[in-house]
A and B are shown apart, each in its own frame.
Chain A
Amino acid sequence: MSGPKLVSILRQGPHLIASIHTALDDTEMERFREDLVEQIGRHRSRGVVIDVAALDVLDSFGARTLRTIGEMARLRGAVTVIVGIQPDVAFAMVSLGMDTGTVATALDLEEGLAFLEGSGARRSGAGRIGAPAARAVPR
């Protein structure tokens, strides 16, 4: 593959920082999932930050894939936190009626890492968007 990288996955101590740099189609999103889950195993990572700040859309497939990554990572002993969901994207996700499931979210990379350092297996340190109660669409 040539051209600018679509995603990057970097190691930082016991954690992985995965950044999505541009809009991904479904196939690319699935490849990202596979690569990330594979690296969690290879590096025995304890935590994963997924930075989606560059995404201008997170539709049902994108959100579901992130959720799947989080659940697969959990089964492999790692905690996942999604950071950088843009306000408009968050609003669209809530309107669409979806959320990130049990996967934690944080405002940005710094808070995401802080969450991983501080919590380990704890799930309450960061907020979750689009919980069922928030489904009523603000108009």
Chain B
Amino acid sequence: MVRRVIAARVADAATVDDLVQETLVRVLAAAGRVEPGMLEPYAIVTARNVVTSQWRERDRHQRNQHRVVDLRPSAAVDEDLLAREERDAVAQALTRLSAQERDLLLAHEVSGRDTRSLAGELGSTAGAVAAQLNRTRARLRVEYLLSVEGVEPPTDRCRPVLLALSGGDRRRQREVDAGRHLLECGSCARLSQPLMERGQPREDEVRVRVESDADIVAARQAARELASRLGFSRTDLTLIATAVSEIARNIVRFAGSGEVLVELLEHPHQGVRVVARDTGPGIADVERALTDGYSTYDGLGLGLPGARRLMDEFAVVSEMGRGTTVTMTKWRTGR
């Protein structure tokens, strides 16, 4: 898709530039009362810039070339057709934005207005305007992807999750439980790939798919490796790795499959957070599962209560038929 988008852009770049220059003046003069037909050329250029900058970045990292948005370039490609398809997708994505969102985005991306002057006009702050612009770009990327892929989100939770991923907002991702949704929803799992590969790969988190014995070892080693970057003591690293081993084993034994996400925290202290999710049957009685000696499999039953003792914070959320999420944290200076 990167090549298709760029090729389509190059094909009519001169025309588009002319068009922008010519009509920009009129739009600015119209100041908010722009006819829809007039707005569209700008909107499309803007949207393209926003969208393609994302994929250019991705292309540079040369990651996952085979993923959904990479429609292989071919000599037989009809550039007009591609350009039309893309324009349609962008136009449709733009209709999903509110008029206010669209205006702000255009003023910034097309007219080159900086956030401070926009803030002055809106009676807001530059920071708030920048945040709003980021949210709008994130939405545009989501809507563009949905449109170009021809996907209608199967659930109400899909859009909020995709938005949180697109915006790279980890707090919001936690609020909407994005990780769990991706385990449950095939459509979003597919779309999440291009959304999450925006920009540099994250240095402060690691995600391990857990479905076999070997994955238990991989998860605890990944956790140790990541946590070691914060300068945890060897003893703490071993406690963290052991706790991860226990909860990863719970996934393999009880749920069959799931994932372990390890992330470094800077606030309120430095620390490491481990989130283990599965789509298993769930735990009927969490309190009991946290009790020493309780075991539903042929083991010591130390999985959850054991891991809890090794970490500083520990929480289990489980829903019958949907699965279990264990969140545990170790602070570097917590004691």
Q: A60-B306, A61-B299, A139-B335 known; A96 and B242 CB under 8 Å? A: yes
Q: Is the CB of A98 within 8 A of B217?
A: no
B323 at interface by CB-CB < 8 Å: no
State A48–B215 Cα separation when bound (angstroms).
Answer: 30
State A135–B335 Cα separation when bound (angstroms).
Answer: 19
Q: Is the CB of B303 within 8 A of A60?
A: yes
State A57–B239 Cα separation when bound (angstroms).
Answer: 8
Which residues of B sit under 8 angstroms from A60, Cβ to Cβ? 246, 249, 299-300, 302-303, 306
Which residues of B sit under 8 angstroms from A87, Cβ to Cβ? 235
Task: Scan residues 226-240 of chain B and give those whose CB is less than 8 A from a CB of chain A.
Answer: 234-235, 237-239
Which residues of B sit under 8 angstroms from A56, Cβ to Cβ? 224, 238, 241
Q: Is the CB of A57 within 8 A of B245?
A: yes
Task: Scan residues 204-259 of chain B and give those whose CB is less than 8 A from a CB of chain A.
Answer: 212-214, 216-217, 220-221, 224, 234-235, 237-239, 241-242, 245-246, 249
Which residues of A sit under 8 angstroms from B107, Cβ to Cβ? none
B292 at interface by CB-CB < 8 Å: yes
Looking at the complex, which one of B216, B224, B303, B310 makes contact with A95 (CB distance below 8 Å)? B310
Which residues of A sit under 8 angstroms from B170, Cβ to Cβ? none
Task: Scan residues 14-70 of chain A and give those whose CB is less than 8 A from a CB of chain B.
Answer: 23-28, 56-61, 63-64
Q: A27-B213, A56-B224 known; A91 and B238 CB under 8 Å? A: yes
A68 to chain B, nearest CB (A): 11
State A60–B216 Cα separation when bound (angstroms).
Answer: 13
B309 at interface by CB-CB < 8 Å: yes
A7 to chain B, nearest CB (A): 15
Which residues of B sit under 8 angstroms from A27, Cβ to Cβ? 213-214
Q: Is the CB of A98 within 8 A of B302?
A: yes
Which residues of A sit under 8 angstroms from B235, Cβ to Cβ? 87-88, 91-92
Q: Is the CB of B216 within 8 A of A26?
A: yes
Which residues of A sit under 8 angstroms from B237, Cβ to Cβ? 88
Contact size range, A:
20 to 34
State A97–B305 Cα separation when bound (angstroms).
Answer: 9
State A56–B249 Cα separation when bound (angstroms).
Answer: 17
A9 at interface by CB-CB < 8 Å: no
Among residues of A, the one whose C-beta sits closest to the C-beta of B311 is A95
- 0/1 per residue, B243-277, Cβ < 8 Å to A? 00110010000000000000000000000000000
Which residues of B sit under 8 angstroms from A92, Cβ to Cβ? 235, 238-239, 242, 310
Q: Is the CB of B246 within 8 A of A88?
A: no
State A57–B212 Cα separation when bound (angstroms).
Answer: 18
| A–B Cβ pairs within 8 angstroms, 22 of them | A25-B212, A25-B217, A26-B213, A26-B216, A57-B220, A57-B242, A59-B306, A60-B299, A60-B302, A60-B303, A60-B306, A63-B300, A64-B299, A91-B235, A95-B309, A96-B242, A96-B309, A96-B310, A97-B305, A97-B309, A98-B300, A137-B309
Interface on B for A, CB 8 Å cutoff? 212-214, 216-217, 220-221, 224, 234-235, 237-239, 241-242, 245-246, 249, 292, 299-300, 302-303, 305-306, 309-310, 335
Interface on A for B, CB 8 Å cutoff? 23-28, 56-61, 63-64, 86-89, 91-92, 95-98, 137, 139
Q: What 7 additional pairs, Cβ within 8 angstroms, besides A56-B238, A92-B242, A97-B309?
A: A27-B214, A56-B224, A59-B306, A88-B238, A96-B302, A98-B300, A98-B306
A-B pairs, top 6 by smallest CB distance, nearest first, are: A88-B238, A25-B213, A60-B302, A59-B245, A26-B213, A96-B306
